[in-house]
Structure 1
Amino acid sequence: MLSRAWHVGWPALLVGGAGLAGTGGAGDGETGWTRPPDLIAYLLVVAAAAATLTLRRRPSVTLAGCGAAVVAYLAAGYPVGPILVAVPVASAGAAVAWPAARAVPANVLLGLAVYVAGGVRFGLPYSGVAGTWPLLVLLAVALPTAIGAGVRIRREALADLHEAHVQRVLADERTRVAHELHDSVGHGLAVIAMQAGVALHVLDRDPGKVRTSLEAIRAASRDALDGMRAELGLLRDPGGDGPRRPAAGLAEAPVLLRRIRSGGLAIVADLWAGELPPEVDAAAYRILQESLTNVLRHAGPATAWVSVARDGDELVVRVLDDGRATGAVAEGSGIAGMRARAARLGGTVDVDLRPGGGLAVVARLPLEPPGRRP
């Protein structure tokens, strides 16, 4: 509350304080004043100070009020004094609040009004203090206008930068949500489609296999729904305190492999078991999941070789298959998502067609992502 009052009231304190303290001695040493400061002079100072209270909300009122008070003060024959502080205050406020196309003409009118009032007061030719009057008025209007315009330009630039940052954050978040939905829901649908095909194929001759496929479909659909609900919850209430689904990690890799094997894909796996930073653990799992989902979708009857191993200060995830993948698969949206995940951690994902058929996916993830390095 106090900071807001200061923010609004400091121009009035400046104009009022200087005017009330200095108006009484403004004419000392000068001759020819027709009217010494009296109660009306102080009332005009107070009026100019009061006009500055609307500086931030209604600068037009400030310009009119300050201009009228200063012009009346000069026209009445009072000595040039601190009331003139109201002129640069009003000029600067207008330049901050308005675009230059509006502020400059308004401040020029203010300056002309003050200049003419002083000219009438001093008469021609100017002499003594009056001789500096044109320069004084010019500086009182032009310099604050330039400073105020600079402040406005800086504020607009900062606002543009902030807006650009907000848009970038929103775009990153949309991309992250898209990747999460693609990975969790897309994987679940791929498993469901594969298991449904298996169930239909053996429906009449192997009821046990049908039951296994239906159980796999139920588990995959539940996981996909849980992932989708978690992401939709984040979209609805990004800052909420509600429960969040724990990020998947390599600890769940055996379940992932078992689920995909049940769909008919042969997998040879060698998984390194070690403690990982949470973001590396989650990225490695999602990359492994997306790679195997691609094999399940596109490779046809195939075998996949999976390796997760530590290589120095990197975690290396390899998924090779001997299926019938094409170049289109190697450049699909799932691959782009894997590369984006790795890039956020300072890592890479290389995807190549194997000479004998199939794809080779090799992801390298730093064990100390950029945000965690000292």
Structure 2
Amino acid sequence: MTGERERGGDRVRQPDLRRLWNALWPALLVLVPGLFGTRGASSEQTDWSRPPEPLAYGLVVFAAASVLAQRRRPGLTLVCCGGAVVTYLLVGYAYGPMLIAVPVAAAGVADAWPLRRALTWNGGLFLAVHLAGAVRFGTETAARHNMPYLGWLAASLAAVAVPTAAWAAVRIRRESEEGVRSALARRAASEERLRMAQELHDSVGHGLAVIAMQAGVALHVLDRNPAKARQTLEAIRDASRESLESLRAELNVLRTPEGDPAPRRAGLGMDDAGVLLDRIRAGGVTVDADIQVRHLPPDVDLAAYRILQESLTNVLRHARATRAGVRVRQDDDVVLLDVADDGAGSGPLSPDGHRGTGIAGMTARAVALGGELVAGPRPDGGFAVHARLPVPAGHGLPAAGMPGSAP
């Protein structure tokens, strides 16, 4: 436990250290060269600049200290750095590392603010620094020492324009990446909502269809066959319990805080097909089943079960069928699922005569796995569903067949 706490503490400290370093290194970029390079620069400009004095080093420290506030107050850093550099130049100190404060301040503003606002502030910084330096180039001494004005114009412009362009590009790219991440997060949330809606449609819809069918059977045999009525009511109880468990599991996902693992019930699969077939048979439909599949990956297993469940639910709800045939087999790297009935063959219609969403949901499940699903009336009457689900390589374990036929 101690080790886990220590490792957890390391994970907390690392972001703090990174944040501290990100705040320090721009200030050090101004401070270190300014303190240790100003005298060397002055030694090469003795004829037309003042030797470094405590004021020069004080201006270096002031500018570096203001950079520490750059991440929260980039405008304040720009004003302080610009003021320190302008004062440094007007007093007459040598051109040197102190000027590093200019691109550092310009980069901070470009990184933090929208482009138009950054250009306005950095334009003011350029004018102030350029004019302060231009005063120096106007002296006869500077002209004699080959200090052309156009060179200073280019240097001061580059000191502001280059970091502005570079950090504005970085900020725009960062915002673009954040936009992409937000779009992906919204898409993931939308896909999760669609998945939950499909799960609720399949599980709760199936349960309600079974309950409705079983209730009709119970009412029909209540007086003549109490034992059959009791059996039917038990089937209603089981179907309603399973539907409530499915509903509860999906609601738990919604209630779980983002980032926490959501509790889910054990996944359904073709191992549960026997219970499903018995429930359909109890609803009054004779089902001939031949299910031969090997161990399937969870996503394929769930999709096959849900397609079988929805197909048989449609038989109960819409087909007015008396018999249905189910065949599920695995050939090499594909699962083939066929469900056919002898009903009206009109497909899944809602009570008001509109097409339901069952086939669309089954098709979406198959397509999501790279497969396909075809559903429609049979030429000789009835309705048929054929699904083809690819199985990734490496899942071919010994067969676990579950043949079944109507009693």
- Which bracket does the TM-score occupy, shorter chain normalised? over 0.9
SS in 1 for 2:384: strand
Q: Which residue of 1 aligns with 2:392?
A: 368
Is the 8 Å Cα contact of residues 268 and 304 (structure 1) preserved in structure 2?
A: yes
C-alpha RMSD of matched pairs (Å): 2.1
d(CA) in 1 for partners of 2:117 and 2:32?
A: 30
Is the 8 Å Cα contact of residues 345 and 370 (structure 1) preserved in structure 2?
A: no
SS in 1 for 2:68: helix
In the alignment, structure 1 residue 129 sits paired with structure 2 residue 147: yes
Distance 1:52 1:67, change over 3 A: same
Q: Which residue of 2 aligns with 1:298?
A: 318
Q: Which residue of 2 aligns with 1:179?
A: 198
- AA of the residue aligned to 2:389: L
Q: Which residue of 1 aligns with 2:67?
A: 52
d(CA) in 2 for partners of 1:4 and 1:241?
A: 29
Which deviations, in whole Å up to 9, do the C-alpha atoms of 1:321-363 show, x marking residues without a partner? 1212425649631212212222222211111221233221111
Q: Which residue of 1 aligns with 2:297?
A: 277
Distance 1:361 1:124, change over 3 A: farther
- AA of the residue aligned to 1:129: M
Which deviations, in whole Å up to 9, do the C-alpha atoms of 1:246-305 show, x marking residues without a partner? 111111111111111111112111111422222221111111001000111000133111
Correspondence for 2:161 among 130, 142, 146: 142
How far apart are 1:39 and its partner, in Å? 0.4
- AA of the residue aligned to 2:320: G
Is the 8 Å Cα contact of residues 23 and 82 (structure 1) preserved in structure 2?
A: yes
Is the 8 Å Cα contact of residues 329 and 337 (structure 2) preserved in structure 1?
A: yes
Most deviating of 282-291 and 29-38: 29-38
How far apart are 1:202 and its partner, in Å? 2.1
Distance 1:176 1:136, change over 3 A: same
Q: Which residue of 2 aligns with 1:67?
A: 82
SS in 2 for 1:141: helix
Q: Which residue of 1 aligns with 2:402?
A: none
Which deviations, in whole Å up to 9, do the C-alpha atoms of 1:136-184 show, x marking residues without a partner? 1110011111101110111011101111111111111111111111111
Q: Which residue of 1 aligns with 2:108?
A: 93
Correspondence for 2:366 among 342, 345, 359: 342
In the alignment, structure 1 residue 333 sits paired with structure 2 residue 352: no
Most deviating of 127-136 and 104-113: 127-136
How far apart are 1:240 and its partner, in Å? 4.1
Which deviations, in whole Å up to 9, do the C-alpha atoms of 1:79-113 show, x marking residues without a partner? 11111101111111111111111000100000000
Most deviating of 74-83 and 201-210: 201-210
- AA of the residue aligned to 1:336: A
Is the 8 Å Cα contact of residues 345 and 376 (structure 2) preserved in structure 1?
A: no
Distance 1:159 1:364, change over 3 A: same
Most deviating of 353-362 and 252-261: 353-362
Most deviating of 342-351 and 63-72: 342-351
Is the 8 Å Cα contact of residues 351 and 361 (structure 1) preserved in structure 2?
A: yes
- AA of the residue aligned to 1:158: E
How far apart are 1:74 and its partner, in Å? 0.6
Is the 8 Å Cα contact of residues 319 and 348 (structure 2) preserved in structure 1?
A: no
Is the 8 Å Cα contact of residues 273 and 305 (structure 2) preserved in structure 1?
A: yes
Q: Which residue of 2 aligns with 1:245?
A: 265
- AA of the residue aligned to 1:109: G
In the alignment, structure 1 residue 30 sits paired with structure 2 residue 45: yes
d(CA) in 1 for partners of 2:85 and 2:394?
A: 61
d(CA) in 2 for partners of 1:134 and 1:370?
A: 69
d(CA) in 2 for partners of 1:44 and 1:272?
A: 83
Q: Which residue of 2 aligns with 1:111?
A: 126
Distance 1:232 1:49, change over 3 A: same
Q: Which residue of 2 aligns with 1:316?
A: 336
Q: Which runs of 5+ in 2 are unaligned?
A: 1-15, 396-407
d(CA) in 2 for partners of 1:130 and 1:69?
A: 23
Q: Which residue of 2 aligns with 1:155?
A: 174
Is the 8 Å Cα contact of residues 301 and 323 (structure 1) preserved in structure 2?
A: yes
SS in 1 for 2:330: strand
In the alignment, structure 1 residue 2 sits paired with structure 2 residue 17: yes
d(CA) in 1 for partners of 2:66 and 2:255?
A: 46
Q: What TM-score do the two structures reach when normalised by structure 2?
A: 0.87
Is the 8 Å Cα contact of residues 345 and 369 (structure 1) preserved in structure 2?
A: no
Is the 8 Å Cα contact of residues 345 and 378 (structure 2) preserved in structure 1?
A: no
Alignment size in residue pairs:
372
Q: Which residue of 2 aligns with 1:167?
A: 186
Is the 8 Å Cα contact of residues 319 and 347 (structure 2) preserved in structure 1?
A: no
Q: Which residue of 2 aligns with 1:213?
A: 232
- AA of the residue aligned to 2:335: L
SS in 1 for 2:147: helix
